[in-house]
């Protein structure tokens, strides 16, 4: 593996072929992205999206297989002429949309009420489709360079943190040596990437709290066991004491996003529901804070004499980028964008990404790809007017192909972590 700033000489033998062919594919890829953007489907319902992508892969010459329940697609091919024992490298895209109303007025704005590709998963799918289409067209040796065995994963249900687990259960990373991924970043300009060695995203736990009391007239609260009062006390106590339960140098965030209960201003309800999230960077802080939440819930339960049910839902582990694979992504990005396009991410994000679900089985790394038009501030992720500079699609495909070939060529070399750029 090359050191930081060091070129990989053999890349020049095939990178011009990649760039030329991906450029030829670019107009079609933009059409695909716009179709996906106009026809979003939410998590666990991406059947038409899966069929569409499977059709595109089949048209490109790949044997595309729909996953369980028609949710997700897997395809496999060889690029160039890999050795028989070449490692199998997976490239992952997510395909689900968010339950957000698209506020854009473009011709490709969402045609589905209340749904929008506001997190860029349509872009991820299109980039990986571009890489797969190039690989399929060059399966028989047009690229005179190290070959690669590639598996392409089009994953459903990233937003609900189910999809990666589903694909792992279906054998998507069986026999895989490493896995690559890209996430669009509207806070970075087109032509730049963010590289992070080590922890990229946070551990995430969704929290559900249900408070059951005894309702009654608001003028006679002494006849009730007030779940509204218990909820107010509980949220206030969690906000006050959780930050003081772990080392302040270890980042953690607890937030409540939903409080639901009651129907009338003069009626104390029987039940209140609270939904929130806990985000941590270390496993130690995660377990400490989960225990502390249980203790605080128990205390408010005793104080209010209500019944409180606590559940931790849809846990996501942190994405921990493998140094060898991150180095391949950095070198690939450097070959596409030059040294000036590379930025080291100095702090992890408190966001979550279920890409970590693959990392329990196989090492991998996720890259942040700039998609903001130069000189303009793009809408943030999950914003109703989210959009990208579509030139980023070809850039992402080129980076993924280069990284896969670098990893394949490097597979027989002994890893030396000390040489990786950090």
123: left (phi over 0), alpha (psi -120 to 50) or beta: alpha
Are the CB atoms for 203 and 287 separated by under 8 Å?
Answer: no
Please list the ranges in the chain whose pLDDT falls under 70: 1-11, 13, 139-146, 411-422
Break the chain down into helix, strand, coil percent, rounded to 5: 35, 25, 35
Residues 6+ apart with CB under 8 A from 415: 1, 324
- Please write down the long-range contacts of 214-217, taking CB distance under 8 Å and 24 or more positions apart: 214/270, 215/267, 215/268, 215/269, 215/270, 216/267, 216/268, 217/266, 217/267, 217/268
Q: How far, in Å, CA of 230 to CA of 300, rounded?
A: 7
pLDDT number for residue 15 = 87
Q: How far, in Å, CA of 128 to CA of 399, rounded?
A: 10
Domain span(s) for CATH 3.30.70.360 in the chain = 203-316
Q: How far, in Å, CA of 130 to CA of 398, rounded?
A: 9
pLDDT number for residue 140 = 56
pLDDT number for residue 285 = 97
Task: Give 150's strand partners.
Answer: 77, 89
Domain 203-316 has CATH 3.40.50.300: no
pLDDT number for residue 11 = 53
Domain span(s) for CATH 3.40.630.10 in the chain = 9-201+318-419
Q: Which residue has the tokens 């218990």?
A: 230
- Please write down the long-range contacts of 109-112, taking CB distance under 8 Å and 24 or more positions apart: 109/37, 109/38, 110/37, 110/38, 110/39, 110/40, 111/38, 111/39, 112/39, 112/40, 112/41
Are the CB atoms for 18 and 134 separated by under 8 Å?
Answer: yes
pLDDT number for residue 410 = 75
Q: Which H or E element spans position 35?
A: helix 15-38
Residues in the chain: 422
pLDDT number for residue 141 = 58
Q: How far, in Å, CA of 333 to CA of 200, rounded?
A: 17
Pairing relationship of beta strands 176-189 and 364-372 according to DSSP bridges: parallel
Q: How many CB atoms lie within 10 A of CB 32?
A: 21
Q: What is the pLDDT of residues 169-222, one digit of tens each?
A: 999 999 999 999 999 999 999 999 999 999 999 999 999 999 999 999 999 999
pLDDT number for residue 308 = 98
pLDDT number for residue 10 = 47
Residues 6+ apart with CB under 8 A from 297: 209, 234, 308, 310
Topology of the domain comprising 9-201+318-419: Aminopeptidase (3.40.630)
Task: Give 367's strand partners.
Answer: 182
Helix axes 15-38, 47-59, angle to 10 degrees: 150
pLDDT number for residue 81 = 84
Residues 6+ apart with CB under 8 A from 132: 57, 60, 62, 75, 77, 91, 150, 152
Q: In what order do the strands lie in the sheet with 271-280?
A: 252-260, 271-280, 203-212, 307-316
């Amino acid at each position: 593996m090359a050191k930081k700033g060091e070129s990989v000489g053999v890349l020049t033998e095939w990178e011009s072929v990649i760039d030329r062919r991906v450029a030829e594919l670019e107009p079609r890829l933009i059409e695909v992205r716009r179709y996906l953007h106009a026809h979003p489907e939410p998590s666990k319902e991406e059947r038409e999206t899966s069929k569409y992508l499977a059709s595109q892969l089949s048209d490109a010459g790949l044997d595309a297989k729909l996953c369980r329940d028609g949710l997700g697609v897997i395809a496999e091919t060889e690029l160039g002429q890999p050795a028989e024992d070449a490692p199998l490298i997976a490239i992952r895209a997510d395909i689900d949309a968010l339950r957000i109303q698209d506020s854009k007025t473009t011709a490709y704005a969402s045609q589905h009420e209340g749904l929008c590709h506001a997190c860029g998963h349509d872009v991820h799918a299109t980039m990986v489709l571009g890489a797969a289409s190039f690989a399929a067209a060059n399966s028989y040796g047009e690229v005179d360079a190290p070959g690669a065995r590639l598996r392409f994963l089009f994953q459903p249900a990233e937003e609900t943190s189910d999809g990666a687990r589903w694909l792992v259960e279906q054998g998507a990373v069986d026999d895989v040596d490493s896995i690559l991924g890209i996430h669009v970043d509207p806070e970075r300009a087109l032509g730049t990437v963010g590289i992070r060695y080590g922890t990229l995203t946070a551990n995430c736990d969704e929290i559900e709290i249900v408070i059951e009391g005894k309702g009654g007239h608001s003028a006679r609260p002494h006849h009730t066991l007030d779940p509204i009062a218990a909820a107010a006390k509980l949220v206030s106590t969690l906000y006050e004491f959780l930050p003081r339960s772990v080392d302040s140098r270890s980042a953690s965030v607890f937030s409540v996003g939903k409080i639901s209960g009651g129907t009338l201003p003069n009626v104390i309800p029987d039940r209140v529901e609270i939904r929130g999230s806990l985000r941590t960077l270390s496993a130690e802080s995660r377990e400490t804070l989960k225990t502390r939440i249980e203790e605080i819930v128990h205390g408010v339960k005793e104080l209010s004499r209500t019944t409180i049910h606590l559940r931790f839902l849809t846990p996501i582990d942190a994405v921990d980028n493998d140094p060898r694979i991150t180095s391949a992504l950095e070198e690939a990005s450097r070959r596409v964008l030059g040294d000036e396009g590379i930025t080291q991410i100095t702090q992890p994000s408190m966001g979550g990404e279920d890409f970590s679900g693959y990392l329990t089985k196989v090492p991998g790394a996720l890259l942040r790809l700039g998609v903001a038009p130069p000189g303009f501030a793009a809408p943030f992720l999950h914003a109703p007017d989210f959009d990208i500079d579509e030139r980023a699609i070809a850039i992402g495909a080129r980076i993924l192909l280069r990284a896969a070939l670098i990893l394949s060529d490097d597979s027989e070399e002994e890893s030396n972590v000390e040489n990786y750029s950090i």
